[in-house]
Amino acid sequence: MTRHLATSMTSIALLTLLAVSLSSLARAQGTRDMELMTLEDRDKAIEVFLSNAKNLQHTNLSAAFNAWLDAAHAGHTPAMHVVATRLHAGDGISRDPHAAAAWWHVAADRGHVEAAYNFGWCQLHGHGVTRNAPRAVSWFAFAAAEGQIDAMDALARCLAQGLGVPRDLEASLYWSTTAAQKGHVSAMRAVALAHQIGRGTGVDQNTASHWWLQAAKGGDIQAMLITAANHEMGRGLPRDPEQADIWYARASYLMLPAPDASALALAQ
């Protein structure tokens, strides 16, 4: 039993030493040197990096970030996305939009769907990279085809505005509807408006009211007000003054300013 425990501790020590060695290589010489190691050794080191990152997540954000960075340098694609996200937000590290975009780009090239959407967003807005709307649309299209609903919504917006792609209202409505059916509230609003004014489709008040209601249930204040009015006037929904009052009240509550902390303290 003692011998087995000693052997296990030795294995853990060797694995940790391997991770430290790989970390030094990654930071000093870049990912090209990582390819000189065997896949098995790299996988073991990445396992340690990820374990360190998760263990440090709630106690030391800076150290956790470095562990994620080690895993990213070692070729772990999801870690690349995490590193980019934290560099973008300044979570445990100074904000660096250029580095964030660079890591998202690498992860996107490796097929990471969330990274593809985020890098597309960077290219659309020129955040950390040169603005390039056509390339942004390409990344949105890739991620949307893979089921990323924010990318669907972004692609729909680009198609509606002719941003980086020829304007196509029917295609825009298709992607908005697909995202709406998957629960994207902003897309629900877009679908509701399209059917209400006949953009990319015929005017259909019933369908418009349905999607305004879904967006209202999703927490959208404007949709709550429109749904209240629709119930009040019986426009695409059953005429129901009680339901109208409920939606007006919900919207009004959400529009109230947040309570002042000092005022709450005085009231207690």
Residue 23 carries which side chain, given as an amino acid letter? Answer: S
Domain boundary among 84, 115, 146: 115
Helix (H) or strand (E) holding 92: none
Range with the largest mean pLDDT of 42-56, 60-74, 192-206, 249-263: 192-206
CA 212 – CA 82 distance, rounded (Å): 35
User: Sorting pLDDT into bands at 50, 70 and 90, what band is 19?
Assistant: very low
In a domain, 49, yes or no: yes
Model pLDDT, residue 242? 97
Answer yes or no: do 216 and 195 share one domain.
no
Q: Is 75 left (phi over 0), alpha (psi -120 to 50) or beta?
A: left
Which letter, b or e, does each residue of 88-108 get, where b requires 16 or more Cβ atoms within 10 Å of its Cβ? beeebbeebbebbbbbbbbbb
User: Sorting pLDDT into bands at 50, 70 and 90, what band is 68?
Assistant: confident
Given a cut of 90, whether residue 1 has pLDDT beyond it is: no
Given a cut of 70, whether residue 27 has pLDDT beyond it is: no
CA 140 – CA 118 distance, rounded (Å): 9
CA 258 – CA 248 distance, rounded (Å): 18
In a domain, 228, yes or no: yes
Answer yes or no: do 188 and 221 share one domain.
no
In a domain, 16, yes or no: no
| Assigned token pair, 131 | 């603005």
User: Average pLDDT of 122-141?
Assistant: 97
User: Sorting pLDDT into bands at 50, 70 and 90, what band is 5?
Assistant: very low
Average pLDDT, the chain: 83
**How many domains does the structure of the chain reveal?**
3
**HSE, side-chain direction, 13 A CA sphere, residue 245:** 3
56 or 153, greater pLDDT: 153
Residue 75 carries which side chain, given as an amino acid letter? Answer: G
In a domain, 158, yes or no: yes
| CB-based contact 52:74 (threshold 8 Å) | no
Domain boundary among 203, 221, 244: 203
| Assigned token pair, 200 | 């990319």
In a domain, 1, yes or no: no
Answer yes or no: do 153 and 106 share one domain.
no
Looking at the chain, the whole-number percentage of residues with pLDDT higher than 90 is 65
CA distances from 63 to 42, 49, 68, 71, 85 (A): 20, 11, 9, 13, 16
Given a cut of 80, whether residue 266 has pLDDT beyond it is: no
In a domain, 151, yes or no: yes
| Assigned token pair, 161 | 């505005």
Answer yes or no: do 74 and 97 share one domain.
yes
Model pLDDT, residue 20? 39
In a domain, 251, yes or no: yes
User: Sorting pLDDT into bands at 50, 70 and 90, what band is 137?
Assistant: very high
User: Sorting pLDDT into bands at 50, 70 and 90, what band is 267?
Assistant: very low
One DSSP character per residue, 47-58 reads HHHHHHHHHHTT
- Containing domain of residue 45, as a range? 39-115
Given a cut of 60, whether residue 221 has pLDDT beyond it is: yes
In a domain, 3, yes or no: no
